[in-house]
Amino acid sequence: MKIKQKPIITVLASVCLTFLVSGCDLMMEDDAKVQSIVDAYKSADSKTFFKKMESDAVAATGLECYFESISSNNTEGMNAVYQKVHELTQNVEISCTETDTYDMPVTIKTKDASEAIEAAMMEAAAEGPEAFADMPSWLLKGLDNAVDKEITVTFSTRNPDMKGFSMLSNHEFLEALTAGAYPYLGCTMTTCIDAANESEYYMVANGDTVHYSTDYYYLSLEGYDLTEEEYRDLEADLSNELVNDDGIASGILHGDNYIGEYMYINYDDASNFTLNRIGIVDSTDRSATISLKATVSGFESEGMTCETTDFGSGVIEKRSQN
C-alpha cells in the first residue's frame, strides 16, 4: 500500500482551513493569556508567569527576585520594596481591545508611582550621598506617593518561537503592572569613593547598564576664615558652573567645613551630546549606554574604591549564575 497523492486543491483547502481555525483561536485567546499573566503576577506564581513571558536574563532577574521575596515575606532592604509593590498592585484590573494585529491595546487600572519614584530619587540626590545611596528608602518614599491611574499600553502578542511574550517589547505593560517599579526591581547601587580628590560617585544600574547616577564634589573650607560675603561669592562662582538640562540636575551642598556640588543624571533622558560636552561620557552616539563594568574598571584604575550592593534582593548572585 502506498500513500496516494491528494489533488492540490484539496491540500490547499485543508491548509487554509487549518490556518483560519488556529489563527482565530490564537486571536481569541490573547486577552485570556494577558489576563493569566496578570493573575500569576498578583498571586506571585512565578512558574505560570514565566511560562507566558519570555524569561530574558536581564529583564527577568528583578521579577524573579520579586516573586521569591513575596513568597518568603522578607521585609529587609529591597525586599521591603518588593512587598510594598505587591501590596499596591493587588487590585490591578485590565481590559483588552480586540485587534487583528499582533499589537493589542490593553488598559490597566492600577497604582502608579513612576513619577513619584524619580522625584524621591532626585530629592535624595539633593539631600546628599547617604540619602541617595539608600535606594530602598527613596523607592519606598516614591511608592508611598503612588496615585490611582488608568494607563493604556500596547501589548505585543508576537511569540514566534513559542517561548513566551517578549519582556523587552512589553516593558511598558510590566511597568504599569508593578506600579512603575519594574525598571528598579533588578537594580544595584554602586559607590565609588575618590578620597584623594574629595569626590564620590553613585550609580544605579540594571545589569551592566547604568540608568541613573549622582556625583558629589567637595571643597574643604577647613582652615579658611571666610566672611559671609566671601562665602556667598564662592557659592555664586560654583552656581555658575552648575548644569541643569533634560535628565540633568545640579545643586550646591553645604556642610560645617565644606561646600560642595552634586550632579544627578538620568541617562535615559539626558542627551549624550550634552553629557559629552560637559565631560561625563566620551561618545556622542545617541544609542550608546553607560557600562557599569567599564566605568568601575576605569575608576578603580584611577585609585578609587568601588562597592556594589543589591540590598539583599539577590540579583547579584542570580546574575553571576547566568
Closest CA to 62 of 313, 268, 322: 313
Contact assessment for residue 53 and residue 37, using Cβ atoms and an 8 Å cutoff: yes
For the chain, the distance separating the N- and C-terminal CA atoms, rounded to the nearest angstrom, is 53
Per-residue pLDDT tens listing for the chain (322 residues): 222 233 333 333 343 333 333 343 344 478 999 999 999 999 999 999 998 998 666 778 999 999 999 989 889 999 999 999 999 999 999 999 988 899 999 999 999 999 999 999 999 999 999 999 999 999 999 999 999 999 999 999 988 677 789 998 999 999 999 999 999 999 999 999 999 889 999 999 999 999 999 999 999 898 888 888 989 999 999 999 898 999 999 999 998 889 999 999 999 999 888 888 888 888 777 777 899 999 999 999 999 999 999 999 999 999 888 7
Cell of 306: 568601588
Contact assessment for residue 300 and residue 306, using Cβ atoms and an 8 Å cutoff: yes
Asked: is 187-321 a CATH 3.30.1830.10 domain? The reply is: yes
Contact assessment for residue 89 and residue 111, using Cβ atoms and an 8 Å cutoff: yes
Query: What are the structural domain ranges in the chain?
Result: 8-184, 187-321
pTM of the model: 0.86
Q: What's the rounded Cα separation, in Å, for the pair 294 and 203?
A: 13
β-partners of residue 53 are 165
